[in-house]
């Protein structure tokens, strides 16, 4: 009699486990795995006929995921450290770019890296220095009005795909003459995503 009860109970238990494993849960609200994010840099032309180079040194590039998304799935050990809503650092060492070489539609790779699949809403650039090099060989350091600039974005990185964003570091709008009459230049970074 006991054996007749045990077998049906085991079948019911196994069936419920199978249903639990296959169903339930909002899988559409979750993301799995990783994709690749490429960030490129360009510049809008500037009218500085006596300037040879505009050198900008960046020390950090970070991308911020949407706060409400959940990141999980088959992500390697280093990716597991990336918590929900926390910035993902794609560049963490100084890199210098000459904006004069990035005009007329020319772009260069700023940074690239793997990120958890999901939606991202912000890129933050950290600027450590900026220098003008004039055609006569003299240089002038720009005074930084701010060391960081936030660029709003709306990007969805899908599993196994590669997504590229191009940023326009607008030197014409960013470089301003100090209004005190000292003749120095100020850098107020104006950066936007190129459509």
**Is 89 part of a structural domain of the chain?**
yes
Task: Label residue 176 by pLDDT band (50, 70, 90).
Answer: confident
Of 149, 143, 129, 147, the C-alpha closest to 55 is: 129
Cα within 13 Å of Cα(165), Cβ side:
26
Lowest mean pLDDT among 8-22, 62-76, 108-122, 170-184: 8-22
Q: Higher confidence at residue 32 or residue 52?
A: 52
**Is 3 part of a structural domain of the chain?**
no
**Is 54 part of a structural domain of the chain?**
yes
Domain range holding 109? 28-193
Q: How many domains does the chain have?
A: 1
**Is 15 part of a structural domain of the chain?**
no
Of 53, 193, 18, 69, the C-alpha closest to 133 is: 53
List beta partners, residue 157: 118
| Residue 182 burial (C-beta neighbours within 10 Å; 0-12, 13-18, 19+) | exposed
**Is 12 part of a structural domain of the chain?**
no
**Is 161 part of a structural domain of the chain?**
yes
Strand 162-169: give its sheet, edge to edge. 108-116, 34-42, 162-169, 191-193
| pLDDT tens sequence across 95-151 | 999 999 998 899 999 999 999 999 999 999 999 999 999 889 999 999 999 999 999
**Is 103 part of a structural domain of the chain?**
yes
- pLDDT on residue 109: 97
pTM (predicted TM-score): 0.70
Q: Higher confidence at residue 71 or residue 140?
A: 140
In contact, 54 and 132? CB cutoff 8 Å = yes
| pLDDT tens sequence across 17-34 | 444 444 444 333 345 689
**Is 18 part of a structural domain of the chain?**
no
């Amino acid at each position: 009699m006991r054996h007749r009860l045990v077998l049906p109970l085991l079948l019911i238990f196994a069936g419920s486990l199978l249903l639990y494993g296959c169903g339930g849960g909002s899988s559409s609200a979750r993301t799995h795995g990783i994709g690749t994010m490429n960030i490129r840099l360009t510049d809008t032309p500037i009218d500085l006929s006596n300037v040879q180079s505009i050198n900008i040194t960046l020390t950090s590039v970070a991308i911020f995921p949407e706060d409400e998304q959940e990141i999980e799935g088959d992500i390697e050990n280093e990716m597991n450290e990336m918590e929900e809503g926390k910035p993902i650092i794609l560049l963490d060492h100084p890199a210098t770019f000459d904006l004069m070489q990035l005009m007329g539609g020319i772009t260069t790779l700023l940074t690239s890296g793997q990120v958890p699949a999901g939606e991202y809403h912000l890129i933050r650039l950290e600027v450590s220095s900026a220098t003008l090099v004039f055609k006569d060989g003299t240089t002038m350091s720009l005074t930084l009005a701010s060391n960081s600039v936030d660029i709003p974005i709306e990007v969805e990185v899908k599993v196994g795909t590669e997504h590229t964003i191009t940023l326009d570091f607008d030197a014409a709008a960013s470089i301003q003459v100090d209004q005190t009459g000292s003749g120095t230049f100020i850098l107020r970074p104006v950066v936007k995503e190129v459509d």
